[in-house]
Amino acid sequence: MKKINSLLSLVAAFSLLLNSFAQAQTTTTTTTKTSVGTGRPKGTMSKTLKGGIIGGLGGAVVGGVAGRLIGGKSGTAKGAIIGAVVGGTAGALIGRKMDKQAAELRRDLEGATVERVGEGIKITFASGILFATNSSALTPEAAGNMTQMAETMAKYADTNVIIEGHTDASGSDAINKPLSERRAQAVANQLTTNGIDSARITATGYGSSQPVGDNATAAGKMKNRRVEVAIFANDKMQKAAKRGLL
């Protein structure tokens, strides 16, 4: 939060614009295997329309600013997605594609939190559902989840994928950062084992440097122990969208 507040002070002239952007930007759904929900949550705005809104707000310029605000210096999954915004009609077409993929991921991924962000998708897995404590080996259940995710990703091949590992602040980052890197790579390896081209995937570990919760509390630490996956259009999809071919 401190990082976001400090960055907001540097872009005060954009504050009202970014407020509108943030309100239209994200829909979050936590899924279980038994939830069907292939449509949008009730009362939410179509992400196709949101793609158009992003274009109206300045496309890649606003995306880059918002990406820095959300992502911090090193960036996060959400920051990467927003920074890759195309905007305008092309953004709306990409958004429609992402709507379909997000619906499938919500349906199929057990215990994952799926967010539609701008022209992409962010998936968050609590580390506890993927790995045992201090381990970077996927549990059998987690491997099954990765298989499901790979099956969906294979249907939408013209996307890039960023995988990020994060830990809480317990212990030293001399231990936490390598652990987070191994966990991100374990997810990447499982996807490639299931047929996803490794050229599409970037895996990074941040240790405890990108907290989303308060490391002074058990609940906050649990939030911080996570793997995030960002899915967004690659150059091929962006060019097709700009030509109106999606």
**CA-to-CA dists, residue 200 to 82, 164, 196, 231, 235, angstroms:** 18, 14, 8, 10, 11
Range of the structural domain that residue 61 is part of: 2-15+47-242
Q: Is residue 172 part of a domain?
A: yes
- Residue in 223, 204, 245 with CA at minimum distance from that of residue 80: 204
Inside any domain, residue 37: no
Q: Do the domain assignments include residue 30?
A: no
3-state helix, strand, coil in the chain (%, to 5): 55, 15, 30
Is residue 64, in this structure, part of any structural domain at all?
yes
Q: Is residue 220 part of a domain?
A: yes
Closest by CA position to 151, among listed 104, 185, 113, 119? 104
Q: For the segment 115-156, what is each residue's pLDDT rounded down to a tens digit?
A: 999 999 999 999 989 999 999 999 999 999 999 999 999 999
Size of the chain in residues:
246
Q: What is the pLDDT of residue 85?
A: 87
181: Cβ–Cβ under 8 A, 6 or more apart, which residues?
A: 165, 203, 204, 205
Q: Does residue 185 form part of some domain?
A: yes
The pLDDT value given to residue 158: 96
* Single-letter residue type at 96: R
Residues in the chain with pLDDT values less than 50: 1-40, 42-43, 45, 48-65, 67-68, 71-74
Number of folded domains that form the chain: 1
Structure confidence at residue 83 (pLDDT): 80
CATH number of domain containing 180: 3.30.1330.60
pLDDT for the residue numbered 52: 45
